[in-house]
């Protein structure tokens, strides 16, 4: 099946290959990728949704000025256990700690999406997906750690890989967990006149 490509200049302000693939899935082919470099530390007592919104908007603000006249999209994915923001796993110790916390529990994946239009107008959305993890044995956690699939992932897992075996139910957008809720991106882009 060929997907019709939508045509305005579109900058993806994200280094995430997942986000690039997700956009391609709905026929949005970025003309360029320009990754933001910002401080992603949470503020004291900052709640997960406020954090996702702030970071997505700061990523957009870091990249947008370099691309006047284009659509620019930035996003952030946060794994939240109650009021607690889990880290992006960059090492095995962090990934193991995340999996131990998620084991046998329900958590939220919160996606912040920020898009600027050539008109200068910009919009922000926060999208929530509920994810249930089965109880994980120590052996399951160690096998998952050995897979390295947790690397660079919020909350230390990737639903699009082996971790799918640990997730009996999801409520809400699946693509939001992977990195970008596609129905929300589509609604935001069409609302801003993209592809007209
Ligand atoms: C929970 C989960 C997260 N992830 C990924 C999506 C994001 O790439 C990453 C969260 O980190 P982000 O900070 O949202 O994004 P990033 O650092 O990859 O890219 P950039 O800041 O340049 O936009 O975790 C998955 O791929 N699968 C999952 O199931």
pLDDT per residue, tens digit, the chain (196 aa), is 444 444 469 999 999 999 999 999 999 999 999 999 999 999 999 999 999 999 999 999 999 999 989 999 999 999 999 999 999 999 999 999 999 999 999 999 999 999 999 999 999 999 999 999 999 999 999 999 999 999 999 999 999 999 999 999 999 999 999 999 999 999 999 999 998 8
Cα 140 to averaged position of ligand 1 atoms, centre (Å): 23
Q: For the chain, give every domain's residue range.
A: 10-191
Tokens representing 91? 């090492």
124 vs 83: CA distance, rounded Å: 21
**Residue 8's pLDDT is what?**
66
Task: Please give all residues whose beta carbon lies within 6 A of any atom in ligand 1, as ranges.
Answer: 14-16, 18, 35-36, 75-77, 79, 88, 109, 152-155, 157-160, 177-179
Please identify, by atom number, the ligand 1 atom nearest to the C-alpha of residue 163.
Answer: 29
Q: Which of 21, 39, 76, 130 is catalytic?
A: 76
Helices 17-25 and 182-191, packing angle to 10 deg: 70
User: Which residue of 111, 153, 165, 170 sits with most ligand 1 atoms within 8 Å of its CB, as the best mutation to test the pocket?
Assistant: 153
72 vs 19: CA distance, rounded Å: 13
By the 8 A CB rule, do 171 and 130 touch? Answer: yes
Q: Strand, helix or coil at 92?
A: helix
Residue nearest to atom 26 of ligand 1 (CA): 178
13 vs 59: CA distance, rounded Å: 7
For 171, what's the count of Cα atoms within 13 Å in the CB-facing half-sphere? Answer: 5
47 vs 91: CA distance, rounded Å: 24
Tokens representing 187? 């609604």
How far apart, in Å, are the Cα atoms of 95 and each of 39, 52, 72, 151? 21, 20, 31, 8
pTM for the model stands at: 0.94
**CATH for 10-191, options being 3.30.200.210, 3.40.50.300, 3.30.200.20, 3.90.950.10:** 3.90.950.10
**Residue 2's pLDDT is what?**
41
69 vs 90: CA distance, rounded Å: 35
Q: Is the ipTM, as predicted for this complex, more than 0.90?
A: yes
């Amino acid at each position: 099946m060929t997907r019709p490509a939508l045509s305005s200049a579109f900058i993806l302000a994200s280094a995430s290959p997942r986000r690039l693939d997700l956009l391609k899935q709905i026929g949005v082919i970025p003309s360029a990728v320009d990754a933001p470099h910002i401080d992603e530390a949470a503020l004291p007592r900052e709640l997960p949704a406020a954090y996702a919104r702030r970071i997505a908007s700061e990523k957009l603000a870091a990249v947008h000025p370099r691309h006047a006249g284009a659509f620019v999209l930035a996003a952030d994915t946060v794994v939240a256990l109650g009021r607690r923001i889990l880290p992006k796993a960059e090492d095995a110790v962090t990934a193991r700690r995340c999996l131990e916390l998620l084991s046998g529990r329900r958590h939220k994946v919160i996606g912040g999406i920020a898009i600027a239009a050539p008109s200068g107008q910009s919009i922000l959305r926060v999208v929530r997906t509920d994810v249930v993890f089965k109880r994980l044995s120590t052996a399951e956690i160690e096998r998952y750690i050995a897979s390295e699939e947790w690397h660079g992932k919020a909350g230390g897992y990737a639903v699009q890989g082996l971790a799918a075996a640990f997730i009996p139910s999801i409520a809400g957008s699946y693509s939001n967990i992977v990195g970008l809720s596609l129905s929300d991106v589509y609604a935001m882009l069409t609302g801003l006149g993209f592809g007209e």
